[in-house]
Structures are given as C-alpha cells and as structure tokens.
Amino acid sequence: MQVLDYLRELISFPSISSVSNVPVTDCVEQWLRQMHFETERISYQDARGVLKTSVVARRGPQSGSGLAWFGHTDVVPVDSWSYPQAGPWQADVVDGRVYGRGSCDMKGPVACMLAAVARIPAEQQHAPLWFVATADEEVGMLGARSVAAQSQLYRQIVAQSAGAIIGEPTSLRVVYSHKGGRTVQAVSRGRAAHSSTGLGQNACMALIPFLEEIRRINDELETQPQWRDERFQPPTPTLNLLLHDVNTGINITSPLASCQAYFRPMPGQPADELTERMRSVAVRCGLQFEITFASDPLYTDPHSPFIQELLRISGRDTAETVAYGTDGAVLTELQSMAVWGPGDIAQAHTDDEWISLQQLELGTMLYEQAIRRWCC
C-alpha cells in the first residue's frame, strides 16, 4: 500500500477521543502483523467506561538499540466542515492537499511510517524496529501512560536505549525539546440563598485571594529571569485561567465555584515548587485543591548523536523547540527522543484540517531513511 492508501483508510475511522479507538487500532495492528511485527495490546477503560487500546509492535532481531516510532490514533471532535461532498471522515484530495479529520494530527504521520516500513523487507533488518500507536493522546496522554506502565515491549525500548521518534507534525523539522504542562484546580463551596436574606455564603468570595496570588504568580512568570527560556517561543510558561460558577442568577449566592490554572514549564524550571505554592494558598483560603494534569518537558541534548543524525537525514542545520506537548512528556525513561513528523501543526485541530501530499511523500521518504539508518 502507498501512503495515501493508508491515510484514506485511517481517516475513515471517526476515532475522536470520546469513543472507542478499538476499530482503528485493530486496523493498524492487522497491517503491522502483515508486515511481520510481533504485537502487544494495552487496553483500559476511560473514566466514562469506554474501552481504549494502544498497540505496541516490534519487528527484527531481539538485540541492538534500533529505532522506536510513536504516534496516536485518536483525533479531536469536528465542529464544522466545508466539504459536504466528502465530510471529515472521508479523505478528500484537493489542490495537493488531503482533507480529513486527523489528516495532520496525526493519522498522516502514522500513514507515512506504515508506508515507510512497507518499503523495507523484514529480513533486511539487523536491529529492532518498534511501532507504537497510542490512544487518548488528546485527552491527557492516557494511552502513552498505560503503555509506559504496562507494556513489556516498551520495557525493551527503554532497556535497549532505542532512539525514539514522536511523529507529531513538525513540518519535518527536528524538535529536541517541548514544554511540559501542569493543570491545578481549586474549588470553593458556599451556600445558596436569596441574596437579599444574608443567609447565603458566596463561593466566589473565597476564590478572590487565590486569584490574587495567581495573578502575582503570572506576573512573576512573565518578568522574572528564572522563568524565561529564550530557546522557546513564547519564552515563558504562559499561565492560563478558567473560572466556573454554577450560579444561574445574580440574586442567588453561588454555592460552588472553581478555578483551573494551566501553565507550561520548560526544562529545568521548578514546576513542583510553583504547584506547591498554589496549593498552600488554596488551603489557606479553605479551598479544595487538586492537580488534574501533569506532564514533563521533553528534552534531548541538541548536540547528541541522535539529534545530529536526524538533522543530517532531514537536510537541516539546527534542531528546534516547540511550545506544545506530546506523548513524549510521559515517556521520560527514553534517553534519545525527538519530535519529527510531516504536516504543519497550524492545521491541527482546525476546521477543514489537511496535510499536503508533498509532506506525505517527503515524510515517507525520510522515515524510510531513518529506519535504514538505525535498523538495517
């Protein structure tokens, strides 16, 4: 099969994160088995009881470092789509672009890696090649977390110090580092009553001193040198807030209010200290406090042999950083890791998502070269 054949089939699965990804995983696993991979399935039920599955596969000799490639099969929901003759779940090729949900993020890169593997007979390998397709990258990297915790083949990747490629779209620029992520939630509980009676307790009031501290923290993140890293754009952790109040009327005291704060630490920054500072303020204000999401920054020395060899294969001089996160944030045992994949991240999660045919062709060619470099 050619890369476009793989991509058409992958797009046809509406594998948004709220439904089971088992059908698309079954399809990927079947292709891998046809190419003589040994496969392992890691399954779990998400918080809503929906079955999710990741597949971890290995081909080639047991010994040697080899190469491991990571991608995900889930996609974000579709809000609107401008191609009713095709729709988001049918690949539509127009003016050198393939339209379809997940075409860029990241079924296009998955298709490129499958097509690259298909070009190389298994008997040519002298080192192992691993292929990992995870669930739920878009909702907390849950699939990658379960793979890291349960997969025996993943333990081989770690033990054998394989070079690892996270295939997220980078326009095939070599990325050696990305930011991490931390989400905390503070919840205030009050008592509902008619506001004229004075009998209520407004939950929003207890949030005010917590928000004042968050504002001070935000000012520090934007101005203090310890929180700046000029290798990134933007060079700060970019704290963001989401406020929620269950109240439905201005004449009712609010019984419940919450604040979520999300920031993106960069390598070497004291994210845990910042989180504990938020926790101490929340406790002092009588709020319930919880860390709801945590992922580490990804970092590989840009001068390392692995990054330098990827640059050579790509025909580029300098490795880069990105502000967004990937499954690599929870695969921290891997010592040589890069984000490197076809497609423009600006197209990810957009209406009328697309990837160019040129990127698909180039991505397949470069992935093939990487496999031959480390596995053949």
Q: Which two tokens stand for residue 306?
A: 């692995």
Q: Enumerate the β-bridge partners of residue 356.
A: 97
Task: Give the integer Cα–Cα distance in Å for 108 and 7.
Answer: 6
- Write down all domains in the chain, each with its CATH number in brackets: 3-178+297-375 (3.40.630.10), 181-295 (3.30.70.360)
What is the band of 192 on the pLDDT scale with cuts at 50, 70, 90? Answer: confident
Task: Give the integer Cα–Cα distance in Å for 156 and 81.
Answer: 42
Task: Give the integer Cα–Cα distance in Å for 271 and 325.
Answer: 15
Task: Give the integer Cα–Cα distance in Å for 216 and 208.
Answer: 13
User: What is the tens place of the pLDDT at every residue in 133-181?
Assistant: 999 999 999 999 999 999 999 999 999 999 999 999 999 999 999 999 9
Task: Give the integer Cα–Cα distance in Å for 243 and 211.
Answer: 10
Closest CA to 287 of 318, 260, 320: 260
Looking at the predicted structure, is the pLDDT value of residue 329 above 90?
yes
- Predicted TM-score (pTM) of the model is 0.93
Which run of H or of E encompasses 224? none
Task: Give the integer Cα–Cα distance in Å for 359 and 356.
Answer: 5
Closest CA to 175 of 296, 332, 321: 321
Number of residues in the chain: 376
User: What is the tens place of the pLDDT at every residue in 215-265?
Assistant: 999 999 999 999 999 999 999 999 999 999 887 788 888 899 999 999 999
**Integer CA distances (angstroms), 97 to 10, 194, 353, in order:** 16, 58, 10
Looking at the predicted structure, is the pLDDT value of residue 113 above 80?
yes
